[in-house]
C-alpha cells in the first residue's frame, strides 16, 4: 500500500514537471533565452581575451575561475573528511610517535 | 586596498586550512596560536568592512576584472558584512573554547583535521554571504555541507556515523534540488548573477510562470531542508545530539542560520516581492514557522537526552525566525535577524556549557542534572542564562527578539500568530525550567556536601562567560546591534 | 539524430530502473557504470565533449571502482 | 593477485595512460578535456597499479606524504596564480591583464595562466582520487 | 502526433527529470545504504543531463575555435562549465558517504537502514 502511494506520488510529480517543461522555451535554437549576450560575449571575445581556443576551458579557468577554485576545495575537504572518518592512528604508530618525541 | 579585504579574508582562511597539515611535526601550540591570530585578523577586517560599508555604502568585487555579465561577482553590503562579523565573532569564541577542549571523542590526533575542517567551513560561510551568483553559492553550499557533516562524524562514536549519514543524504538531496532550480532559472533567464536574474525574472514572470513556480519550489525546498524548516527537520536532532559540543554549537548557532540567510537572499533579492506575493509564499512560511514553533517544543518536552532536547529546541527557534521572515515586513525581518543573532549566542552558550558538564560528569541525561548547580556553578549559571533567554525572560536577549516579533506580528494584523508565540514560549518554560530548578534549587543535603568539582581551565571558561555576558548585554542594550540591523534590513527592501 | 538521442534516453531510464531493481549490488554497480558510459555518449551527442570525457573518466571509472572497494568490505546482497 | 601477464601488461600500460592524462591536461585550452578529466585519468592509472600490485607496493611509489603535499600543492598553485592577478591587476584570478603572456592562440604555449591552473587542477584531482582510493581500501577493521 | 513530437523535442529534459525522480525514489525508499548512494549519483546525473540539454543548439558545434569552423554555430558553453564542477562535487560527496558506510558496517554489522534503526532503538532501550 505504502509503495503504491509513493509510486503514485512520484508519477504525479513527474507529470507536473513535464507539464512545466512543455511550457518552457525548450527548442534548442539560437533564440533560446539562455543563448543571450553572455554567450555571444564568450564566443566572440573569449579567444582574444584569454588566448584559449577551447571556450569551455576559457570560461572554467578564467571567467568563472573562482567556481573552479571552490570545487578543488571541495576535493580537499573530501580528503580531510574521509581520512577523519577512516584513518585511525593505530596504537603501534602512536607509540612509535611518542618514542620519537 | 579596502576593496580587496573580502578576498583577503577568504584567502587567509583558506591558507590556514592548507598550512595546518604542515605543522604535524612542529609544536602543536604554535599552530593553535596561528589559527587564533588568523581568526582575530579576519574578525578585525570584517568589522572594518562593516564600518566602511555602513559609512560609504555597498561595493562590488569582480573576479578577474570581469563585469557581472560574464564573471563572478561578490556583493559586500551591510547584509553580508554584518553577518560575517557575527559569524567570525562567534567562531572565535567557540574556537577559544575548543583550544583546551580535548573532550568528547575528538581524539588528540584529530585536532589538526578538526581545525582544517573548521577553517574551510568558515571559508565557505564567508563565500556564501558575499557571493552574488547563484552557481557560486551552490559551490559554497556544497563545501559547507561536506564540512558540516565531517565535523559531526569526526567524533568516533557509534551513533555519529548514522546521524552523519542521514545528514549527508538529506544534504545531497537538497543540493541537487537547489541545482535543478538553478537550471530551471538559468534556462529562462540566461543569467546566474542575482541582480540580473531578478530583473529578467520581473519581465518574463507572466510568460513562464509555471517554470518559475517549479524553480522556486525546488530552490526553497533545497535550502529549507538544509535550514531544518519544520517538516524537513528530521536530520537535526540526531546530528546535533551526537556531534561534539563545539560542533553542535557551530551547527546550531551558525550553519543553519546561514541557510536561512540564503533563503532570505533568494526571496528578497532574486524572486522579488511581486512573485512572492503571487505565490502566497508568505502564508506557507507563516504556517510552517508556527508549526515548527509548536511541534519542536512538544518534541523537546519528550526528550531525555539534554543535547537532543536542545536540538529540538533549535527546530522551535528556527520556527520563530521563519515566522519573522514570513511576515515580509521590515519589522518582522528586523525581529528575525535579531533572533538569528541572539539565538546563535544563546545556543552556543547552552551547548558549550553542556559540553563542560558532559566532560567532567560524563552524563548526558536530564535526570542526572539534579544538583549540578552546586558542583559546577559557573557553567550551570551560563546554562541557566541561556535557558532563560530561550524562554524569553526579560533582561535577556531572547526577550527582546520575542518582544520585537510580537510587535511585528501585531503591526501586520496577524494576532493569531501572537497567540502561537506566547504558547510556544510557555512550552519552552515546560522543558527548560525543570532543568534549571533541579540543578539549583533541589534541596539535597548530599549535594551540598560534594565540593564543587569545576576545575575547568580558564581558556574554556572565558568563552562561556563571554557568551553569558553577551546574552545579558544584548538584553539590556539591544540597540547596540539593532541600529545596524535596521540598516541591514533597509538593504533588502 | 533525434531518434538516436531518444533511444539513448530510453536506455538510460531503463538502466536507472534496472539499478534500482537489482538486488545484487555488484551487478547494480556494473549497470550503473554502463549507465555512465551511455550518459557520456548522450553528452557527446549534445556537443559537450569536455563533460563527456570527464564523466567517462570519473563517473564510469573512479566512482564504480570506489563502490567495488566498499562492497568488498561490506555486504554484497541487498535484503 | 599474482598473475605475471597481468603484472607485465600493467607495467607497460600504466605509463601510457599517464602520458595520455598529461597530454589531456596540457592541451586543455586547445581540445576537449582539461584538469578534471586528465587528472582523473592519471588517478585511474594509479588505481590500476594499486589493484594489480597491492596497496603496499603502490604506497612505495606514491606515499602518503607525497599525496598530501601534491594535494595541497594543487590548490596552492591555483591560489598563487590568483594572487599574482590580485597584486598586478587589482583583482583575484586576472589573466592577461595581470601580465601573463598571451601567446599565439591555438599553440601549446598560450592562454596565459590557463595551462598553469590546469596543471594545478590536474595534480589536485589525481592525488585526490588516489588518496581516496587508498584510504578506502587499506583501512583495517578494528 | 503533436504530443509525440513535443516529447521528442524535449526528450532530454524529460529524461533528466525522470532520472532525477528515479534517483530520488531510490534514495527515499530503499533501505540499503549503498543503494541509496547510487541513487544519489543517478539523481546527480539527471540534473546534469537537464543542465547540458539547456546548452544544446541544433546544428551547433562544440565551442572550440579552430580555423576549420570559423562562422559556424556554437553551442552554449556555460552549462558544460557548470556541470564539470558539479560532477566532481558529487564524486566527493559519494566518497565521503561511502566512508561512513564502511564505519557503519564495522560498528553495527549491517548496512540495512531498517536493521540499523532496530539495533539503535534496542540499544537505547537497553541504556
The model's pLDDT over B121-140, given as tens digits with 9 standing for 90+, comes to 999 999 999 999 999 999 99
CA–CA separation, B179 vs B237, rounded Å?
A: 26
User: Could you tell me which chains touch chain B, where touching means 3 or more CB pairs under 8 A?
Assistant: A, D, E
Size of interface C-D (CB pairs under 8 A): 42
Containing B36, the helix (H) or strand (E) segment is helix B28-56
Question: C-alpha cell of D127?
Answer: 592525488
Helix B281-301 crosses helix B306-326 at what angle (to 10 degrees)? 160
pLDDT of residue B247: 87
Say whether domain E2-58+75-126 belongs to CATH 3.40.50.1380.
Answer: no
pLDDT of residue D141: 44
Q: What are the φ/ψ torsions at residue B453 (nearest 5 degrees)?
A: -100, 15
Q: Is the pLDDT of residue A97 over 60?
A: no
**pLDDT band at residue B143 under the 50/70/90 scheme:** very high
Beta strands in E1-127 (DSSP E): none
Round the average pLDDT of chain E to a whole number and report it: 87
How many Å separate Cα B133 from the centre of its chain? 21
pLDDT of residue A49: 79
Q: Is the pLDDT of residue B364 over 50?
A: yes
Mutate to test the interface with A, among C6, C49, C50 (most CBs of A within 10 A): C50
Cβ of A86 within 8 Å of Cβ of E80? The answer is no
Q: Is the pLDDT of residue B85 over 90?
A: yes
- Residue that has been written with the C-alpha cell 522543558 in this structure: B431
The answer for residues whose C-beta is within 8 angstroms of residue D13's C-beta and 6 or more apart is: D48
**Is B7 a member of any domain?**
no
**Is A80 a member of any domain?**
yes
**Is A8 a member of any domain?**
no
Cβ of B188 within 8 Å of Cβ of A62? The answer is no
Cβ of A79 within 8 Å of Cβ of D131? The answer is yes
Question: C-alpha cell of D138?
Answer: 587499506
Chain C residue with Cα closest to E104: C74
The answer for residues whose C-beta is within 8 angstroms of residue B274's C-beta and 6 or more apart is: B202, B205
pLDDT of residue B50: 92
pLDDT of residue D142: 41
Domains in chain C: boundaries: 2-73
Task: State the residue range of the domain holding B288.
Answer: 280-493
Q: State the nearest Cα–Cα gap between C13 and chain E, in angstroms.
A: 6
CA–CA separation, B265 vs B259, rounded Å?
A: 10
For B:404-423, CB contacts with D below 8 A are none
**pLDDT band at residue B147 under the 50/70/90 scheme:** very high
Average pLDDT over residues D63-86: 84
Q: What percentage of chain B exceeds 70 in pLDDT?
A: 93
Q: Is the dihedral of CA A45, A51, A55, A57 positive or negative?
A: negative
Question: C-alpha cell of D44?
Answer: 585511474
Question: C-alpha cell of B419?
Answer: 497567540
Question: C-alpha cell of B379?
Answer: 557553567
CA–CA separation, B233 vs B213, rounded Å?
A: 23
How do beta strands B59-62 and B73-76 pair?
antiparallel
pLDDT of residue B456: 66
Give B449-474 pLDDT, tens digit per residue.
555 565 667 777 888 888 989 998 98
Q: State the nearest Cα–Cα gap between C69 and chain E, in angstroms.
A: 10
pLDDT of residue E65: 81
B332 and B324 Cβ atoms separated by less than 8 Å:
yes
Chain E residue with Cα closest to D142: E106
D79 and B11 Cβ atoms separated by less than 8 Å:
yes
Average pLDDT over residues A48-59: 82
For C:13-52, CB contacts with E below 8 A are 13, 16-17, 19-20, 25, 28-29, 32, 35-36, 39, 42-43, 46-51
Q: State the nearest Cα–Cα gap between C27 and chain A, in angstroms.
A: 24
How many Å separate Cα D32 from the centre of its chain? 16
**pLDDT band at residue D51 under the 50/70/90 scheme:** confident
pLDDT of residue B453: 60
Chain D residue with Cα closest to E109: D141
CA–CA separation, B434 vs B446, rounded Å?
A: 20
Q: Is the pLDDT of residue A98 over 70?
A: no
CA dist B312 → B281, B295, B380, B471 (Å): 25, 9, 20, 21
**Is B86 a member of any domain?**
no
Give B220-254 pLDDT, tens digit per residue.
999 999 998 888 888 888 888 888 888 888 998 89
Mutate to test the interface with C, among D40, D48, D140 (most CBs of C within 10 A): D40
Q: For B193, which DSSP code?
A: B
For C:56-75, CB contacts with E below 8 A are 58-59, 62-63, 66-67, 70-71, 73-75
A55 and A39 Cβ atoms separated by less than 8 Å:
no
Quick check: C50 contacting A, CB < 8 Å?
yes
Give contacts of E18 with chain B, Cβ < 8 Å.
Answer: none
Average pLDDT over residues B468-491: 88
Domain count within chain A? 1
CA–CA separation, B293 vs B300, rounded Å?
A: 11
Beta bridge partners of B133: B193
Residue B77 exposure: Cα atoms within 13 Å on the Cβ side = 15
Cβ of B18 within 8 Å of Cβ of D76? The answer is yes
Mutate to test the interface with E, among C11, C22, C41, C46 (most CBs of E within 10 A): C46
Beta bridge partners of E32: E112
Chain B residue with Cα closest to A37: B69
Q: What angle do CA B212, B215, B216 make, to 5 degrees?
A: 85
**Is A37 a member of any domain?**
yes
Q: Is the pLDDT of residue B260 over 90?
A: yes
Quick check: E64 contacting A, CB < 8 Å?
yes
Question: C-alpha cell of A93?
Answer: 604508530
**pLDDT band at residue B263 under the 50/70/90 scheme:** very high
Alpha helix ranges (H) inside B157-193: 158-189
Q: In this structure, what is the dihedral angle of CA atoms E94, E97, E103, E106, given to the nearest 10 degrees?
A: -70
Containing B62, the helix (H) or strand (E) segment is strand B59-62
D136 and C62 Cβ atoms separated by less than 8 Å:
no
Chain B residue with Cα closest to E112: B162
Cβ of A32 within 8 Å of Cβ of E96? The answer is no
D77 and D119 Cβ atoms separated by less than 8 Å:
yes
Q: Is the dihedral of CA A48, A53, A54, A57 positive or negative?
A: negative
**Is A19 a member of any domain?**
no
CA–CA separation, D7 vs C65, rounded Å?
A: 19
CA–CA separation, B114 vs B98, rounded Å?
A: 10
Across D106-131, b (16+ Cβ under 10 Å) vs e yields beeebbbbbbbbbbbbbbbbbbbbbb
Cβ of A60 within 8 Å of Cβ of E53? The answer is no
Question: C-alpha cell of B406?
Answer: 510580537
Nearest CA to B89 out of B481, B493, B482 is that of B481
How many Å separate Cα B313 from the centre of its chain? 14
Contact A/E (≥3 CB pairs under 8 Å)? yes
Q: Is the pLDDT of residue B187 over 70?
A: yes
Give C21-60 pLDDT, tens digit per residue.
888 899 999 999 999 999 999 998 888 888 888 888 888 8
**pLDDT band at residue B189 under the 50/70/90 scheme:** confident
Cβ of A50 within 8 Å of Cβ of D106? The answer is no
ipTM of model: 0.93
CA–CA separation, E101 vs E110, rounded Å?
A: 9
Cβ of E45 within 8 Å of Cβ of C74? The answer is no
- Residue that has been written with the C-alpha cell 502564508 in this structure: B283
Cβ of B186 within 8 Å of Cβ of E100? The answer is no
**Is A60 a member of any domain?**
yes
Question: C-alpha cell of B284?
Answer: 506557507
Q: Beta-carbon neighbour count of residue E122 at 10 Å?
A: 9
First to last CA, chain C: 42
Quick check: A60 contacting D, CB < 8 Å?
yes
Name the least confident of A84-88, B209-213, E15-19, E103-107: A84-88
Comparing B277 with A27, which gets the higher pLDDT? B277
Domain count within chain B? 1
Q: Is the pLDDT of residue A96 over 60?
A: no
Task: State the residue range of the domain holding A94.
Answer: 30-100
Q: What's the full length of chain C, in residues?
A: 79
**pLDDT band at residue B141 under the 50/70/90 scheme:** very high
CA–CA separation, A68 vs A54, rounded Å?
A: 16
**Is B152 a member of any domain?**
no
Cβ of A89 within 8 Å of Cβ of B109? The answer is yes
Q: What percentage of chain E exceeds 70 in pLDDT?
A: 99
Give contacts of B189 with chain A, Cβ < 8 Å.
Answer: 33-34
CA–CA separation, D85 vs A61, rounded Å?
A: 13
Alpha helix ranges (H) inside A1-101: 2-22, 37-50, 55-58, 65-86, 91-100
Residue D126 exposure: Cα atoms within 13 Å on the Cβ side = 28
Q: State the nearest Cα–Cα gap between A101 and chain C, in angstroms.
A: 35
**pLDDT band at residue A92 under the 50/70/90 scheme:** very low
Residue B93 exposure: Cα atoms within 13 Å on the Cβ side = 28
**pLDDT band at residue B100 under the 50/70/90 scheme:** low
Across B26-40, b (16+ Cβ under 10 Å) vs e yields eeeeebbeebeebbe
B154 and A84 Cβ atoms separated by less than 8 Å:
yes
Give E60-117 pLDDT, tens digit per residue.
888 888 777 777 888 888 888 889 888 889 989 999 999 999 888 988 888 888 888 8
Amino acid at each position: 500500500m505504502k509503495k503504491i502511494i509513493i509510486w503514485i506520488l512520484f508519477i504525479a510529480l513527474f507529470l507536473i514537471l513535464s507539464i512545466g517543461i512543455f511550457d518552457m522555451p525548450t527548442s534548442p535554437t539560437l533564440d533560446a533565452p539562455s543563448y543571450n549576450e553572455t554567450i555571444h560575449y564568450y564566443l566572440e571575445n573569449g579567444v582574444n581575451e584569454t588566448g584559449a581556443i577551447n571556450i569551455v576551458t576559457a570560461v572554467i579557468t578564467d571567467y568563472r575561475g573562482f567556481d573552479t577554485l571552490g570545487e578543488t576545495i571541495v576535493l580537499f575537504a573530501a580528503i580531510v573528511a574521509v581520512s577523519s572518518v577512516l584513518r585511525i592512528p593505530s596504537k603501534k604508530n602512536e607509540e612509535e610517535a611518542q618514542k620519537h618525541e | 586596498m579596502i576593496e580587496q579585504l573580502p578576498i583577503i579574508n577568504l584567502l587567509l582562511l583558506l591558507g590556514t586550512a592548507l598550512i595546518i597539515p604542515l605543522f604535524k611535526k612542529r609544536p602543536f601550540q604554535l599552530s593553535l596560536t596561528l589559527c587564533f591570530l588568523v581568526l582575530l585578523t579576519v574578525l578585525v577586517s570584517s568589522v572594518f568592512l562593516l564600518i566602511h560599508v555602513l559609512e560609504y555604502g555597498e561595493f562590488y568585487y569582480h573576479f578577474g576584472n570581469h563585469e557581472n555579465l560574464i564573471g563572478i561577482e561578490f556583493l559586500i553590503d551591510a547584509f553580508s558584512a554584518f553577518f560575517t562579523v557575527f559569524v567570525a565573532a562567534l567562531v572565535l569564541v567557540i574556537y577559544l573554547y575548543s583550544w583546551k577542549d580535548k573532550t568528547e571523542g575528538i581524539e588528540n590526533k584529530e585536532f589538526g583535521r578538526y581545525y582544517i575542517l573548521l577553517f574551510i567551513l568558515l571559508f565557505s560561510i564567508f563565500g556564501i554571504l558575499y557571493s552574488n551568483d547563484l552557481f557560486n553559492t551552490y559551490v559554497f553550499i556544497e563545501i559547507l555541507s561536506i564540512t558540516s557533516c565531517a565535523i559531526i562524524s569526526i567524533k568516533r562514536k557509534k551513533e555519529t556515523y548514522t546521524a552523519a549519514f542521514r545528514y549527508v543524504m538529506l544534504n545531497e538531496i537538497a543540493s541537487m534540488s537547489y541545482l535543478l532550480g538553478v537550471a530551471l532559472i538559468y534556462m529562462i533567464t540566461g543569467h546566474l548573477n542575482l541582480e540580473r536574474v531578478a530583473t529578467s525574472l520581473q519581465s518574463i514572470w507572466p510568460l513562464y510562470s509555471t517554470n518559475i513556480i517549479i524553480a522556486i519550489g525546488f530552490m526553497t525546498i533545497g535550502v529549507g531542508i538544509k535550514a531544518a524548516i519544520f517538516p524537513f527537520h528530521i536530520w537535526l536532532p540526531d546530528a546535533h545530539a551526537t556531534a561534539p559540543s563545539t560542533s553542535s554549537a557551530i551547527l546550531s548557532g551558525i550553519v543553519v542560520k546561514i541557510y536561512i540567510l540564503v533563503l532570505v537572499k533568494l526571496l528578497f533579492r532574486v524572486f522579488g516581492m511581486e512573485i512572492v506575493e503571487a505565490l502566497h509564499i508568505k502564508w506557507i512560511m507563516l504556517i510552517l514557522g508556527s508549526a515548527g514553533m509548536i511541534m519542536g517544543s512538544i518534541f523537546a518536552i519528550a526528550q531525555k537526552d539534554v543535547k537532543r532536547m536542545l536540538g529540538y529546541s533549535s527546530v522551535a527557534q528556527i520556527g520563530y525566525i521563519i515566522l519573522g521572515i514570513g511576515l515580509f515586513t521590515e519589522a518582522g525581518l528586523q525581529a528575525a535577524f535579531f533572533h538569528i543573532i541572539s539565538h546563535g549566542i544563546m545556543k552556543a552558550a547552552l551547548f558549550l556549557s553542556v559540553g563542560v558538564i558532559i566532560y567532567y560528569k560524563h552524563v548526558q541525561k536530564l535526570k542526572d542534572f539534579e544538583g549540578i548547580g552546586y558542583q559546577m556553578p559557573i557553567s550551570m549559571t551560563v546554562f541557566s542564562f541561556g535557558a532563560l533567554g530561550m524562554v524569553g525572560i526579560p533582561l535577556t536577549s531572547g526577550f527582546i527578539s520575542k518582544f520585537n516579533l510580537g510587535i511585528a506580528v501585531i503591526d501586520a494584523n496577524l494576532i493569531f500568530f501572537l497567540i502561537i508565540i506566547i504558547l510556544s514560549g510557555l512550552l519552552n518554560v515546560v522543558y527548560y525550567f525543570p532543568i534549571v530548578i533541579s540543578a539549583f534549587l533541589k534541596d539535597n543535603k548530599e549535594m551540598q556536601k560534594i565540593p564543587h568539582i569545576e576545575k575547568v581551565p580558564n581558556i574554556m571558561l572565558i568563552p562561556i562567560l563571554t557568551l553569558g555576558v553577551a546574552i545579558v548585554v544584548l538584553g539590556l542594550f539591544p540597540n547596540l546591534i539593532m541600529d545596524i540591523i535596521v540598516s541591514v534590513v533597509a538593504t533588502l527592501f | 539524430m533525434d531518434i538516436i538521442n531518444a533511444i539513448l534516453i530510453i536506455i538510460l531510464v531503463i538502466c536507472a530502473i534496472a539499478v534500482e531493481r537489482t538486488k545484487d549490488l555488484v551487478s547494480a554497480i556494473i549497470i550503473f557504470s554502463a549507465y555512465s558510459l551511455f550518459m557520456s555518449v548522450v553528452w557527446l551527442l549534445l556537443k559537450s565533449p569536455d563533460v563527456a570525457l570527464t564523466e567517462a573518466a570519473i563517473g564510469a571509472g573512479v566512482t564504480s571502482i570506489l563502490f567495488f572497494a566498499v562492497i568488498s568490505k561490506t555486504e554484497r546482497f541487498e535484503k | 593477485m599474482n598473475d605475471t601477464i597481468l603484472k607485465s601488461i600493467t607495467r607497460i600500460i600504466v605509463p601510457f595512460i599517464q602520458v595520455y592524462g598529461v597530454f589531456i591536461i596540457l592541451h586543455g585550452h586547445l581540445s576537449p578535456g582539461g584538469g578534471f578529466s586528465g587528472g582523473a585519468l592519471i588517478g585511474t592509472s594509479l588505481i590500476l597499479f594499486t589493484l594489480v600490485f597491492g596497496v603496499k607496493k603502490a604506497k612505495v611509489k606514491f606515499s602518503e606524504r607525497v599525496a598530501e603535499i601534491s594535494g595541497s600543492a594543487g590548490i596552492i598553485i591555483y591560489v598563487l596564480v590568483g594572487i599574482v592577478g590580485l597584486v598586478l591587476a587589482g583583482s583575484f584570478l586576472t589573466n592577461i591583464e595581470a601580465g601573463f603572456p598571451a601567446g599565439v592562440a591555438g599553440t601549446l604555449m598560450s592562454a596565459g595562466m590557463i595551462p598553469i591552473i590546469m596543471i594545478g587542477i590536474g595534480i589536485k584531482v589525481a592525488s585526490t582520487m588516489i588518496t581516496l582510493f587508498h584510504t578506502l581500501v587499506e583501512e583495517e577493521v578494528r | 502526433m503533436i504530443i509525440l513530437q513535443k516529447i521528442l523535442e524535449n526528450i532530454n529534459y524529460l529524461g533528466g527529470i525522470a532520472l532525477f525522480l528515479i534517483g530520488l525514489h531510490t534514495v527515499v525508499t530503499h533501505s540499503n545504504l549503498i543503494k541509496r548512494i547510487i541513487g544519489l549519483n543517478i539523481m546527480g546525473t539527471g540534473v546534469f543531463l537537464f543542465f547540458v540539454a539547456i546548452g544544446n543548439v541544433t546544428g551547433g558545434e562544440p565551442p572550440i575555435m579552430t580555423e576549420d569552423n570559423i562562422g559556424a554555430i556554437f553551442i552554449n558553453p556555460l552549462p558544460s562549465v557548470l556541470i564539470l564542477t558539479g560532477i566532481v562535487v558529487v564524486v566527493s560527496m559519494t566518497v565521503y558517504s561511502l566512508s561512513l558506510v564502511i564505519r557503519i558496517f564495522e560498528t553495527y554489522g549491517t548496512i540495512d537502514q531498517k536493521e540499523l534503526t532496530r539495533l539503535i532503538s534496542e540499544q537505547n532501550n537497553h541504556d
